[in-house]
Amino acid sequence: MLLIQSNAIADALNSSEWVFPIAECFHIAAFAWSIGLIALVDFRLIGIGMKRESASEIARATAPWTLLGLAVVLLSGPVLFLSDTRMYLGNPSFRFKMYALLIAIIFNYTIHRKVALSNSSPAGVQVLVGVVSLLLWVSVVFGGLFIAFA
């Protein structure tokens, strides 16, 4: 039943050759947008760049825009996925990316957020959180790219 449904959705999505490229453009622009903004906070936590602002100021200023970017990513992603569910589910890079994405989002809105917003965390913790966050998002991007090469 699920397969039949997903095939119907895939047919609808594949009926126009423009749906996938346009969804992909939104997906890429929005991930660049959101991950770029998260990276700004990460680099500040590590101690690189934007020294005049505190990490919490950067985190606060970017948070609504990051959320908007992530929303577009999470809306356009399923469109891409539904165009060929079987291929994606069987693709090891895709599965790796989904796990990395899940961990990255949870990390971003729990530990990362807490440490970035409190300016009183020890320097070591700030650096660690910044590095882990960068590594998680780098894994997501690499996983996404390797879907096409797996």
Q: How far apart are CA 24 and CA 79, in angstroms?
A: 9
Q: How far apart are CA 118 and CA 93, in angstroms?
A: 35
Rounded to a whole number of angstroms, the minimum distance from the CB of residue 48 to another protein is 8
* 107 vs 146, beta carbon nearer another protein: 146
Rounded to a whole number of angstroms, the minimum distance from the CB of residue 2 to another protein is 29
Rounded to a whole number of angstroms, the minimum distance from the CB of residue 101 to another protein is 14
Residue corresponding to tokens 């913790």: 125
What are 44's two structure tokens? 């500040």
Encoded amino acid at 135, one letter: L
* 94 vs 146, beta carbon nearer another protein: 146
- Residue pair 100/139 in contact by the 8 Å Cβ criterion: yes
Binding site for another protein (CB under 8 A): 21, 24-25, 28-29, 31-33, 35-37, 39-40, 43, 48-53, 57, 61-62, 65, 137-138, 141-142, 144-146, 148-149
Q: How far apart are CA 115 and CA 50, in angstroms?
A: 17
Encoded amino acid at 116, one letter: A
Rounded to a whole number of angstroms, the minimum distance from the CB of residue 105 to another protein is 16
CA angle 139, 99, 135 (to 5 degrees): 25
* 88 vs 146, beta carbon nearer another protein: 146
Rounded to a whole number of angstroms, the minimum distance from the CB of residue 60 to another protein is 9
- Residue pair 143/100 in contact by the 8 Å Cβ criterion: yes
